[in-house]
Amino acid sequence: MLRNRVVAALEDLKAKDVVEIDVRGKTSIADLLIIASGTSSRHVKSIADEVVKFAKQAGVLPLGVEGQDEAEWVLVDLGDIIIHVMLPRIREFYGLERLWTVGDGLEDDDEAPEAPEAQRQAD
């Protein structure tokens, strides 16, 4: 299974804080996002290169790889799985985990939290 190969590649190169987010039903671009951190630009690039290598060994050619020049945030698009390898400061700044999990904790009969008073007055 491709997911297992990707996770193995991340583990092999000691990627940090690996998070998997099931995005089925939220977007048509992928079924799974995997987000991981590297300790330096070189580490981020090495992790992304290893993911590409493992995917090719599984017979999957990446649809695209973005960000390798700067290697602060490298995206590897494997079709159903998209891997984001980021420096910790970039990961914190963009907060992809927060963006993709907003609303996941609400039940059908729960209400969304109210906007703060100052924000409501500005509307």
Report the CATH number at residue 68.
Answer: 3.30.460.10
Per-residue pLDDT band at 3 (split at 50, 70, 90):
confident
Domain assignment of residue 112, yes or no? no
What was the pLDDT predicted at 123?
A: 46
In this prediction the pTM is: 0.77
Domain assignment of residue 114, yes or no? no
pLDDT exceeds cutoff 80 at 25: no
Per-residue pLDDT band at 62 (split at 50, 70, 90):
very high
User: Percentage of the chain with pLDDT > 90?
Assistant: 49
Spatial contact of 35 and 87, defined as CB atoms under 8 Å apart: no
- Is residue 37 packed enough to be buried (19+ CB in 10 Å), middle (13-18) or exposed (0-12)? buried
Q: How far is CA 90 from the centre of its chain?
A: 12
pLDDT exceeds cutoff 80 at 116: no
80-107 average pLDDT score? 80
What was the pLDDT predicted at 122?
A: 47
Phi, psi of 23, rounded to the nearest 5 degrees = -110, 15
What was the pLDDT predicted at 40?
A: 96
User: Looking at the 3D structure of the chain, how many domains does it have?
Assistant: 1
Print the domain residue range for 24: 2-94
pLDDT exceeds cutoff 80 at 55: yes
Domain assignment of residue 101, yes or no? no
